[in-house]
Amino acid sequence: MRGRDNVMFDCALFDIDGVLVDIRKSYNSAIKKTVEYMLKSITGKSFHNLVTDQIILKFRQSGGFNNDTDTTYVITLAMLANPPKNIAEGRRFLAKVAENADESGYVSAEKFLANHGIEKWKSLLAYPAPVKDSMLARVFDELFYGPELFEKQNHVESKYCKGRPLIKNDKLVVTTKMMKKLNEVFDGNLAIVSGRSRLAAEYSLFPVMKYFNLDACVFLEDEKREYAKPNPYAIKKAMQTIDAKSAVYAGDSAEDLLMARRAEKESGVKIAFVGVYGYSPQPAKTIASFKREGVEAMAKSVNQLPSIIDTEL
């Protein structure tokens, strides 16, 4: 597709969460509910309403928390290591932990919390580990996927949570009309680069999944952990599959932008980053962050992408 200054883009790449799907009542809720479940089971105390969307956003803006189970782990660890007198105090401490986190993610948070005697809690939480070895990881997945999809994804039966799957709260925001148009102008060279599993992607994107080149899509939950964002592996793999030298990437987070910039540097490709902010808990802060980082364009909705490509890129 040809944009401003006669630039030709070979493909369009998409994050899912916060871009194609509004996850504020699904993945964000899974973080909140897992933290409450874990802290209640360990301490016997209620931490209801401890985690807010704003706290989750603070962690994501550090560049190292694309994996929501990592966020859940760090929040749980912080509350165990430094028990708050009340919810407000707990939130203040979590904000401090997030402010001191960086693109190394949960490792940076563990370093910040090191003087709070976290070793016994790290041992108890057994994270990161597969769901069969980590109660925290298992509770998160059981809450998000629900019993049927959890078993399909992890090949073990649900143990802790039997309620309505939070994935059902995913809200598909990209339109079939937009996807059909982009599929036509890019000759089918559309791909997903997401932290999700393929199962979760197919579930929530079912009406538009046919418009993507599935061979080029990368679902990082199904890949080795070392490939997680902001590692450029996923973008590089997608573009290599398509044999693309340039791309438009629609993302909503610091990890997405870091990944795109690293892919450019390592592969010598051109990636125009479009920051999507409409489904952020705090759109104004997300816009300000994108402006500071000098992204090529911003959009309230991913459905604006065709006009942005034609007029801004």
- Is-above-0.85 flag for pTM? yes
What's the token pair of residue 222?
A: 């199904």
What confidence tens digit (pLDDT) does each residue in 240-295 have?
999 999 999 999 998 999 999 999 999 999 999 999 999 998 999 999 999 999 99
How do strand 11-14 and strand 246-251 relate by DSSP bridges?
A: parallel
Helix (H, G, I), strand (E, B), or coil: what is residue 151?
helix
Other beta carbons within 10 angstroms of residue 310's beta carbon come to 13
281/272 Cα distance (integer angstroms): 24
Task: Identify the segments of the chain with pLDDT beneath 50.
Answer: 1-7
pLDDT at 311: 87
205/222 Cα distance (integer angstroms): 17
171 DSSP β-pair partners: 22
pLDDT at 162: 86
What's the token pair of residue 14?
A: 């998409």
pLDDT at 313: 83
Could you tell me the domains of the chain? Answer: 4-22+170-311 (3.40.50.1000), 27-168 (no CATH)
Q: Which of 305, 46, 33 is nearest to 160 (CA)?
A: 33
Task: Return the ∠ at Cα 263 (arms to 272 and 67), rounded to 5°.
Answer: 95
